[in-house]
């Protein structure tokens, strides 16, 4: 008998445990097969506290670690399903959900830093994130260095012996810059520091930073993941040891998401891949339309060959997202006339929902800055951010076209 004959036959590939598809996980991941009252959907456990049957059950929980719920700030059954599902979609070991995206960001940062630590953040990060890192953290003795986005030499040079982590976004807001995650991982590995990426704009459909070695990924679930412009929610995903640190502080701070919001988040996740596919397609179509329009100065969309990070986006993304940013020809008044002439698109902040939203950063997000300050940040008078919904793309284009033509006539 040969050695080969003496070994047990290898199992065929088909017999190995196959991972379910993304859409299947979006609908079923994290749920038990059988649920309360034979419900198809995960029930809303709308309570602030949980009763014990008797003193023995109290001791089983407090002394012997019996798994159960005690108080709403420490979690609820609907929340746990949402966490497991998000972890499955993001390729993470664990997840914690929060009452908002900013609650997720701030709690995560506070969980991993100590007084005397230092962090590095890119200058194209979300305004409120930058504000927290550069101003509020100083009160706790945590220093912050802001580096230009895309300058990897500056990023490398900014790391100090006390640096705890590097923070950025990909894509960024509003210019949709794409971080080279392989370069980020190499720099972080060289200096033995953590990496945090806000991946709200990409979503797990288009990019999963954990697969590139990123340590923690953050999402504003308010946007694409919930997808209906009706809740606030946030999440952090990563390996268990880091997520546990965040969860411990989360219990103390109390930025807990309520059960009904969790239910709506789970509902949104069921159609998330379908919505995202439509928004990806529509954004690309609209970006190409705008790039050829005579009233447009420039379009920023990573799916376009003209975007400075197009090659990086192609290499590490499977789709380019539902946001298109562009600059009009003309003045501040041109931008205002354009917005005022829209009939389908809603003038509103946020993104990722089923309705198409459009915003003017100069008068919404940066209204408290001088023109000189805005321009230093790249926020020009005619910069517009368009967040595609799931309406028929021809209707969106028709609305943009008529508003652009009307605004251009009175330049």
pLDDT for 109-161, tens place per residue? Answer: 999 999 999 999 999 999 899 999 999 999 999 999 999 999 999 999 999 99
Q: Which residue has the higher pLDDT, 37 or 84?
A: 84
Q: Which residues are tagged catalytic?
A: 73, 126, 198, 223
Q: Which of 19, 124, 33 is nearest to 379 (CA)?
A: 124
Q: Give the structural domain span for 340.
A: 273-409
Does residue 8 belong to any structural domain of this protein? no
The reported pLDDT for the residue numbered 7 is 40
- Tell me the CATH number at 227: 3.40.640.10
Report the alpha-carbon distance of residue 310 to residue 301 in Å, rounded.
8
- The pLDDT confidence band at residue 12, using thresholds 50, 70 and 90, is very low
Domain boundary among the residues 268, 301, 332 is at 268
* Confidence at 17, pLDDT banded by 50, 70, 90: low
Distance CA 57, CA 34 (A): 24
Which of 344, 363, 366 has the alpha carbon at shortest distance from 355? Answer: 344
Give a yes or no: residue 291 inside a domain: yes
Question: What pLDDT is attached to residue 411?
Answer: 52
Residue 68 belongs to some domain of the structure: yes
Considering the domain architecture, whether residues 228 and 288 belong to the same structural domain is answered as no
Task: Single out the residue in 235, 268, 301 at which a domain terminates.
Answer: 268
> Is the same domain home to 50 and 174?
yes
Q: What is the pLDDT of residue 187?
A: 98
Total domains in the fold of the chain: 2
- Residue 1 resides in a domain: no
In a domain, 403, yes or no: yes
- Predicted pLDDT of residue 33: 83
Q: For 173-225, how does the pLDDT look when each residue is reduced to its tens digit (9 = 90+)?
A: 999 999 999 999 999 999 999 999 999 999 999 999 999 999 999 999 999 99
Q: Is the pLDDT of residue 77 over 50?
A: yes
Residue 387 lies in a domain: yes
On whether both 210 and 286 belong to a single domain, the answer is no
Contact between 200 and 218 (Cβ < 8 Å): yes
Assess whether 251 and 166 both reside in one domain.
Answer: yes
pTM of the model: 0.92
| 15 domain-assigned | no
Is the domain of 305 the same as that of 245?
no
Instruction: Write the pLDDT tens digit of every residue in 274-322.
Output: 999 999 999 999 999 999 999 999 999 999 999 999 999 999 999 999 9
Q: Is a pLDDT exceeding 90 seen at residue 375?
A: no
* Same domain membership, residue 258 and residue 330: no
What percent of the chain clears pLDDT 90, i.e. is strictly above it?
86
Q: How far apart are CA 64 and CA 54, in angstroms?
A: 15
What pLDDT does residue 29 have?
A: 94
At 410, the pLDDT band (50, 70, 90 cuts) reads low
**Same domain as 366, residue 315:** yes
The answer to whether residues 178 and 295 belong to one domain is: no
Predicted local confidence at residue 108, as pLDDT: 98
Rounded mean pLDDT, 256-266: 95
Overall average pLDDT of the 53-58 stretch:
95
Among the three residues 245, 268, 291, which one is the final residue of a domain in this structure?
268
Q: Are residues 47 and 189 in the same domain?
A: yes
Residue 3 pLDDT: 35
Asked, for residue 5, whether it belongs to a domain, the answer is no
Q: In this predicted structure, what is the pLDDT of residue 15?
A: 43
Residue 336 has pLDDT above 90, yes or no: yes
pLDDT level of residue 369 (50, 70, 90 thresholds):
confident
**Residue 375's CATH number:** 3.90.1150.10
Of 15-19, 99-103, 354-358, the one with minimum mean pLDDT is 15-19
Task: Check whether residue 278 and residue 329 sit in a common domain.
Answer: yes
**Are 288 and 243 in a shared domain?**
no
Mean of the pLDDT values across residues 81-103? 97
Please indicate, yes or no, whether residues 305 and 255 belong to a single structural domain of this protein.
no
């Amino acid at each position: 008998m040969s050695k080969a004959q003496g070994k047990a036959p290898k199992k065929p590939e088909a017999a190995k445990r196959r991972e379910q598809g993304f859409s299947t996980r979006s609908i079923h991941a994290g749920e038990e097969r059988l649920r309360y009252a034979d419900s198809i959907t995960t029930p809303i456990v709308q309570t602030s506290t949980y009763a014990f049957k008797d003193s023995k059950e109290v001791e089983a929980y407090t002394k012997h670690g019996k798994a159960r719920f005690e108080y709403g700030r420490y979690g609820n059954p609907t929340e746990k399903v949402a966490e497991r599902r998000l972890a499955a979609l993001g390729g993470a070991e664990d997840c914690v959900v929060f009452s908002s995206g900013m609650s997720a960001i701030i709690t995560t940062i506070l969980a991993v830093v100590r007084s005397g630590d230092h962090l590095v953040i890119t200058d194209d990060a979300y305004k409120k994130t930058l504000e927290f890192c550069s101003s509020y953290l100083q009160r706790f003795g945590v220093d912050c260095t802001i580096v230009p986005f895309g300058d990897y030499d500056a990023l490398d040079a900014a790391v100090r012996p006390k640096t705890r982590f590097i923070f950025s976004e990909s894509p960024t807001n509003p210019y949709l810059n794409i971080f080279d995650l392989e370069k980020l991982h190499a720099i972080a590995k060289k200096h033995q520091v953590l990496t945090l990426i806000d991946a709200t704009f990409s979503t797990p459909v288009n990019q999963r930073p954990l697969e590139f070695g990123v340590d923690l990924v953050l999402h504003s679930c308010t946007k694409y993941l919930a997808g209906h412009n009706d809740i606030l929610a946030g999440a952090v995903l990563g390996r268990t040891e880091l997520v546990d640190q965040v969860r411990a502080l989360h219990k103390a701070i109390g930025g807990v998401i309520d059960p009904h919001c969790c239910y709506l988040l789970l509902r949104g996740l069921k159609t998330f891949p379908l919505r995202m596919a439509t928004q990806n397609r529509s954004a690309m179509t609209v970006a190409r339309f705008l790039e050829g329009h005579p009233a447009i100065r420039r379009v920023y969309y990573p799916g376009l060959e003209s975007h400075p990070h197009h090659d990086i986006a192609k290499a590490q993304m499977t789709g380019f997202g539902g946001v298109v940013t562009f600059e009009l020809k003309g003045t501040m008044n041109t931008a205002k006339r354009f917005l005022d002439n829209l009939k389908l698109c809603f003038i509103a902040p946020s993104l990722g929902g089923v309705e198409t939203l459009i915003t003017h950063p100069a008068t919404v997000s940066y209204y408290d800055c001088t023109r000189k300050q805005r321009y230093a940040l790249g926020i020009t008078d005619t910069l517009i951010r368009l967040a595609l919904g799931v309406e028929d793309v021809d209707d969106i284009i028709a609305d943009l076209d008529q508003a652009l033509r009307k605004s251009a006539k009175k330049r």
